Amino acid sequence: MPSRATASTTDLTIPARLDAGAVVRRAITAWMGGHPRLDDALLAVTELVNNAVVHGGLEEGADLTVSMRAEGNGIRLTVRHAGPAFAVGELQPPSPEPGASRGLAIVEQIADRWGVEADGIEVSAWFEVGPRRADLNRG
């Protein structure tokens, strides 16, 4: 399992299958330890991994790579895979239709910063979370 103590950046390459999110969550839980934004990071990275697997246009047997990097008091997670360039544009409100994609809208709500970069060969979706935000539900 990845360890922050051994490297500032850790890469995990796994098959792009429907269970990829569970594999990535276990690795990130071990790597991030007790970070106060662990739950946020797990939800956001699951959305990016699922987005890559379901909507990434990956060929049978393709892999994806998740990079985990410490950024000061925060964490940057990147999901990379082979794929065509596309524009994220302005996110539209999620459709009420069953099976409608909500992944990037969820990432946008959770992350302090996020983005998608594509060059026609590889797609990289990333986000950053810092120390826990102030609890907005408290007076």
Residue 54 is encoded by which pair of tokens? Answer: 């379901």
Say whether pLDDT at 139 is over 50. no
High-pLDDT (> 70) share of the chain, %: 76
Q: What is the C-alpha to C-alpha distance for residues 116 and 40, in angstroms, rounded to an integer? A: 18
46, 106, 114 from 91: Cα distances, Å = 18, 11, 13
Say whether pLDDT at 6 is over 60. no
Residue 57, pLDDT score: 82
Pairing, β 9-15 against β 63-71: antiparallel
Residue 119, pLDDT score: 87
86, 108, 136 from 21: Cα distances, Å = 22, 18, 29
pLDDT tens per residue across span 18-31: 999 999 999 999 99
